[in-house]
Amino acid sequence: MDIANEVRTAIADRLDRMEAEHEMTVLYACESGSRAWGFPSTDSDYDVRFVYVRPRDWYLSINLERRDDTIDLPLEDDIDLHGWDLRKALQLFRDANPTLLEWLRSPLVYREDEAMTPRWRDLIPEYYMPGAVGPAYHGMARSIAEQNLDVEPISHKAYLYVLRALLAVRWVEQDRGLVPVEFNRLADAADLDADLRAAIDALLDRKRAGAEQDAGPRRPTIHAFVEAELERQDDLQFSKPENRPGLEPLNAFFRSALDRFPSRS
């Protein structure tokens, strides 16, 4: 799925305004969530996620730890903007944060620096840790399920978010490498029962044709799978690396970004 040109223009304009207002540079911006995963509703917002860098002097402060490292802007024209400072993002990257790894590999990119973004992506294999990613996705699945699946009507969105996280854990469990962003790739690799896959495909069709807040009765085939898979995954043991990846490649990347974007003037 692509994004209409007028929407891309509106997003670019908002990013430009934000750069000027906050005195920073957007290093990378992409679509996250249901549009990137392949099941947007007819009224889905545009979930724009970005990483930004400030001028070098901003980081040379004795109170750096108290400075904001996140930017959240109000929803405007269905565009939701949320971003992390590069320093924060690199700290999360070292921990193999799955959300950030998805951002960097989103199929829908709005802005990327031609020098820095490929260099950052090249670091992903070195810092990808199944032992961190698997439990993180399982935690997402359990949290969403506990908050949304106990009482009817049940959100179609919640069902699919839980399913995606569970299928991501299966992908990691099978040692397939980096978790795909697209839902269908996860489902195709999961070797699902035919009845379950048909139920999921029907839910996907319903989600894409309906509104973001649409909900309905419990879907027995999907619900049974979610409950059984959550319980099964509770007992999974993911091996953790003996040594965490080093800091210096990320420090070097950070310094290069500061050199490339010394100021907003």
pLDDT for 36 beyond 90 = yes
The pLDDT value given to residue 241: 72
Q: Cβ atoms within 10 A of the Cβ of 191, count? A: 9
pLDDT of residue 87: 97
Give the Cβ contact number of residue 121 at 10 Å.
Answer: 14
Tens digits of per-residue pLDDT, 183-215?
A: 999 999 999 999 999 999 999 999 999 999 999
pLDDT at 178: 97
The DSSP bridge partners found for residue 85 are 52
Q: Which two tokens stand for residue 144?
A: 């969403």
Q: What percent of the chain has pLDDT over 90?
A: 92
d(CA 44, CA 108): 15
- Between the CA of residue 21 and those of 17, 54, 264, what are the distances in Å? 6, 12, 10
Q: 130: cis peptide before it, omega within 30°?
A: no
Give the DSSP H/E element, type plus range, for residue 233.
Answer: helix 220-234
Provide the 3-class DSSP secondary structure of residue 8. Answer: helix
- Full DSSP string of 58-107: HHS-TTGGGS--EEEEEEETTEEEEEEEHHHHHHHHHTT-HHHHHHHT-S
Tokens for 250, please give them: 């990320």
Angstrom distance (rounded) from CA 111 to CA 15:
9
pLDDT of residue 227: 98
Dist CA 106 CA 192 (whole Å) = 25
**Tens-place pLDDT, residues 119-160:** 999 999 999 999 999 999 999 999 999 999 999 999 999 999
